[in-house]
A and B are shown apart, each in its own frame.
Chain A
């Protein structure tokens, strides 16, 4: 009885395997047949995959940088650029965005020095900015209090440019792997590293959204979305790293797409929030600043894109 079931199952598997194998084989085989010997064509394919993984990461870093550029421009304009250093994140995020566009367009399998420099400076800016923001909050009367954490310089905000720099820097390292079989970032496995950075970024950004939505007393039930979906996403990324099963990765991939969608939809929700303030859009000069920040939610999209890149790297590393 048992053995019968087993053999039955085996037959099914066999049938499915051969059925599935066909189109995949066909898709992979055709371009390779055009040019090079089998061994070489494998490594060329690997190189193409490496570059496109890196470009995905460039894109994610760029999305984050764009969010930071707009957000810091708005917030630091609100702060009247009282300190000249407040221009720094605008310049750096602008540069990072430009470099990320450059990287997205670049198909060469080598790291780019200017991009590296830009990404590194973004990461450093994030660290220094965090220091500035902590100083700003603690020097206010009341120190590290809810009041100052709510309304002082946002402690989590500079982390976004740090994340952008880190993802971009990872992108360059991934790209530099070229045809190497197992892609690494320095000595760390690339897929797992990028997944970890993305997951931590999602958790941190979700924490910041949570803080600010708590400030808004979660008056709209949709405000719970960015504090629930991203941590689940982070968990799925961790799951993909730890168990790496196909189903887990598939679920994680869909979840990342959902988070990207949420990031863009968030702009819409925040635009509605601006319209809900007194005077609505006619009073834009106040409400853009006092209402929910329009450029903030897309940072989730940036991180979700990084998560997708990580999942692709995992797939390639494990299914190869």
Chain B
């Protein structure tokens, strides 16, 4: 139900930041980086299959995606980041390194789901998954599988942060929020309120979705 609502509201119909791929807004380095990101498969290389399944289910709750378009492989992107060992630059006391924190956290969430619902996290109903995540956020989960890692710290500093950063690293998400996307060498000219360069997304004002879609199709 909630997901359907997300699907209904398309703020920037017809806008695809990738349409600017060959435009002066994208330089060679950016194309190289984004091309690699678009190739990231939705399968685990760092995590186990079981862990990956839980992660996929979590990502669906944190950043729900409309069914009408090809999904952003949030779990795959995150798995790749863990494999590459890219860290944030700080670690709150009580939180192990990124890979270890995720392994432990996913295992613990799965264990919490089994304890409450008799099945793994991924098989739990959406509403119950949300409930588990809220308890995690509030620091109310303390199954032995957490092994001393406070669930609220894991939630805020690892789970939420990493999932959100993974989703919004993808061009599909950029198009969804109407961001201009990569911008070099070409930046922007019109900077004031309600100013839009021809290479920026047009927002669908109520009743003017068709116009926005027409403009967005021509964004280059």
Contact = CB atoms under 8 A, between A and B. Distances in A.
Nearest to B199: A285
Nearest to B194: A82
Contact of B186 (A78, A80, A279): A279
Interface string B7-29: 00000000000000000100000
A289 B189 contact: yes
Interface residues of A, number: 10
A273 B198 CA distance: 23
A278 interface: yes
Contacts of A286: 24, 186-189
Contact of A278 (B184, B196, B199): B184
* Chain B interface residue bracket vs A: 10 to 19
A290 B190 CA distance: 9
Contact of B195 (A80, A278, A285): A80
Contacts of B24: 279, 282-283, 285-286
B185 interface: yes
A279 B195 contact: no
A289 B188 CA distance: 10
A279 B198 CA distance: 18
Contact of B187 (A78, A80, A278, A282): A278
Interface in B155-184: 184
Contacts of B196: 80
Interface of A: 78, 80, 278-279, 282-283, 285-286, 289-290
19 contacts: A80-B196, A278-B184, A278-B185, A278-B187, A279-B184, A279-B185, A279-B186, A282-B24, A282-B185, A283-B24, A283-B185, A285-B24, A285-B186, A285-B198, A285-B199, A286-B187, A286-B188, A289-B189, A290-B189
